[in-house]
Structure 1
């Protein structure tokens, strides 16, 4: 609403200003007349503008505010230069209680370009959805038909979106919407001998099968080819491949095949068998869905193994050498025994080993050691006087008495030695393989004794010194034991002595 009282007050204010200017100005009369005319024109224009009303015009949702003297909406539309079509909508709103025009809401019909059944047509619709536009164009949708709006798949009930393109008159024009209708055509798909009919809008066979939810595996065969264009009544044949798994050369291959046998499956995957290679199941086995094939690589290898032949040791007496000395006459050397095997490997694992030949590649060489048999009588000064001995042996000396010999007192052999003598000082226990029983010996720190006893623990170079029960002295040390002259007959002499037990290095 425009306030007329406010406008009158403004006009009176301008007249007062004009009167003040005239009262203070003293120009020529002609100039005064011209000035008065200009003022009158200005006042008339101002009065015309002041009487204009503001009207809100909404065009396709865009708001414009304009000044007008018109009361008729159609006169206003002509003034604004808006040419409307028969399907455009105009809504007028007037003010109360004056009844003057306050606003206009204009909804222009939306241009829709429709492509269907090989024809193109343009309709102007006042509808809200794609289905409304198609109905106005006389295009009927059938089951499985597909609608594309501006290149995108759309449902028939999709709302139509208005998009304005700005123009110089500021009202703009509506951007046309492009609607494409793809008609579904029937094709017959024979899947492993079972025919089914599907309706599709796809352009190629591959797209049609995919849109119908038919899964085509890489190994399946489709006839015609998947990129063949779709036409109504086309027949498509699908030959299904079978899933297969191959284990070969440490790899596991999962694939699909149209082959009938294992051999054809391997040929498809370019797997070649060599020599004695074989498969499980065999090459002529029939293919079934989910079959698992194992390729066994067979390799033969000739292996030669060597085994040492130990050499023998021969001892030879030598009268040139003194007793208990030795001399290496000939060094021993191991021989070589060879065996040749043919070894069969399956997938790298040994499965068979067959002996083909064996022979002595090198004979062993016998080790020959000479030992001395020359006996030399020597003398030794002792606290008991000078003694003569024919052999000296390094031995571990321990001690015992009848009470520590291991037999209880009530035993009938308690205190009796191996030779039947009473156990006392002057008796020693020895290993008869080292010192013959009955031999007289001299032990430094103990004295002269006779080898008259043995013991379960007296082995090798071990001598056990006997004491009376009341004067036992504990021994455990290495000593030189002298065998007193004269020596026994040569056939009684033990020429080669055992070398155990061994004396620790720090005791020597």
Structure 2
């Protein structure tokens, strides 16, 4: 009896309370699984319970949940006041090589806690870089004509992103680097600036003779021989003032002209200028009345040009035209 009295003060709880503690799964884990297994789906595993010495109080036990980056969870019990490292070692819980702890292993366990592991992944994405179109004037190319001197090529760049995952959920994503793998190549378009030379012909009309008169006339460009027609023939042409705009885009006109082959075309109101007429525009040369348009009514013409920028530059202007036939 004397020996029994010496032992009892060292026990802080009764044998019955120890039995209750061991039976309580919410305080002390009782399964035999001891190593976290990582699966594609979320799982929960209890670690082997650490050895709880006789006399341990309920207040001295803490529960620890360890959740890896893929959402797998393992639960074990530990002695309050022990370090996280010691508790995990005793419960034989290891951290996957791809994951990181959010706190140091020296953290002291004071209360129940959840340890959520994180994984940091890097991904590389490719993106195209658009090329530029550069226009250059070329005096060897006829005015209004264009020619592609160099084809454009897209460039490429690589972008590296860092993604942090916890509990099978992406927590953050940020771009950490960007590298140009291939520089884009500009598309070069030559724009013609060469002005087409026109022959200036003066018509000499005999006012008294009934028969044609032939004479030489000196002009600013060259000497040409012209025949003066009889007075009635001098009125065969028609001169008029028009309002002119410009259009572009290629294609086939209302009269079947391919604008990619023949750009000297104007759109007209057929009731004013018959389709197929040769029309001389002061300062621009001779065109064919070969197209129509919904907005072309009355004394309005639309001059075909080779590029969008040229059409914008042309704008709207008043011109003098001569219908030759």
Taking structure 2 as the reference length, what is the TM-score of the superposition?
Answer: 0.44
Structure 1 or 2, whichever has the larger Rg, is 1
Which structure has more relative contact order (CA 8 Å, sep 6+)? It is: 2
